[in-house]
Amino acid sequence: MKTITSDDILGKIALDTSGDELGIVTELHIDKENKTIIGVTIDQGFMKPSLFIGIKHILKFGIDSVMLNKVPYEKIKGLNVLDERGELFGYVDEVIVKKYKIDSIIVSKTKVSSKKYIVTGKDIDKISSDVLLKKGFKAKLKE
Amino acid sequence: MVINMRTKKVEDTKKIFSKSHTLLNTFDLRDFKGKKVLAKNGLKVGKVSDFVIDKSYNIVSLKVRNWFRTFYVDTLFIDSLSNKVVKLNIIPVVTNIGKKVFDVEGRYVGKVVGLVKTNDKNEFKGLIVKKRFFFRGKTINKSDIKTNDKNIILKIEHVN
């Protein structure tokens, strides 16, 4: 049986499936009754909230990093939303997830704008460093 | 194509042409200088710094500059042009330079400092990876790459 200590996990970089660095593992969460690890907390850096990742979503406790088996939806918040021509449409304000899939995203035109648009998951072409929308996407004004 | 096209005819006194030309639906190249260049996936790869023309005055490529790195992109790879952005239909391989490389065990292998290329196409055979500045670079084959997105994750274990 291979065992590791908390020292081998804490302070390591957390990587998602795309290889993006999410932050540094700062805490281990242990179930008091069952004595098992239930997840880790990732410090995402200055002015960003800490992220809790359940043990189910951890692929591997690696040598220099902790590898996850999914991309957290929290990461999408704040990304630029670009239309098919690459022009800025807005910023991701909220992500709505249904059955572990992105159902829709709420986009605000500016970072302080109260005018918000709903874009369905079908209209999203790619999510990388920005959210790229498909050609002829439809955005509904949120009431 | 959405761009600031010329919508008014240019006065005849201001033109010197071999044939008559209204100059409608044409645009100035200068308007493109400094525009953002985006890859297929929306990643910003640089800004248009110049254009390259051949002896017969055809535009051959865009000169794209990203900080201290300059590269040339064939005009065939331009997907769309807009008032602010030039979008490509490829992800240029030069964007791999600077990415971090991790092996399957989550071990940090190093940073990509160069590419092994055999032709001018948007393809690479391998990556040259360095862990430290003074270290000698190691070559990693393209076939050993599992994920190539924000950073690179290998299929294999890489022991230093």
Residue of A nearest to B108 (CA): A64
Q: What average pLDDT does range B51-61 have in this prediction?
A: 90
Report ipTM (2 d.p.).
0.79
CA dihedral sign of residues A92, A90, A132, B153: negative
Q: For residue range B101-153, what is the model confidence (pLDDT) as tens digits?
A: 999 999 999 999 999 998 889 999 999 999 988 888 899 999 999 998 889 99
Contact between A86 and B85 using a beta-carbon 8 Å cutoff: yes
Closest C-alpha among A67, A38, A41 to residue A55: A38
Domains along the sequence of chain A with CATH: 6-71 (2.30.30.240), 74-141 (2.30.30.240)
Q: Which domains does chain B have, with CATH numbers?
A: 12-91 (2.30.30.240), 94-154 (2.30.30.240)
| Contact between chains at A66 and B106 (C-beta distance less than 8 A) | yes
Looking at the complex, does the CB of residue B36 fall below 8 Å from at least one CB of chain A? yes
Q: CB A64 to CB B107 under 8 A?
A: yes
Question: Which of B36, B42, B149 is opposite residue A18, by nearest beta carbon?
Answer: B149
Q: Which residue of A has its CA nearest to B148?
A: A18
- The model's pLDDT over A80-139, given as tens digits with 9 standing for 90+, comes to 898 888 888 899 988 998 888 888 999 998 877 778 899 998 999 888 888 889 888 888
Query: Residue B102: its chain A contacts at CB < 8 A?
Result: 15, 19, 62, 64-65, 67
For residues B119 and B108, the answer to whether their CB atoms sit within 8 Å is no
Would you say residue B1 has pLDDT above 70?
A: no
Residue B96's pLDDT band (cuts 50, 70, 90): very high
Q: Taking the model in full, what pTM does it have?
A: 0.81
- Sorted by sequence, the CB contacts under 8 Å of residue B125 that are 6+ apart come out as B116, B117, B118, B141, B142
The CB-based long-range contact list for A41-50 (8 Å cut-off, 24+ gap) reads A42/A14, A48/A23, A49/A74, A50/A26
The answer to whether A79 and A130 have CB atoms below 8 angstroms apart is yes
Q: Name the β-bridge partners of B155.
A: none
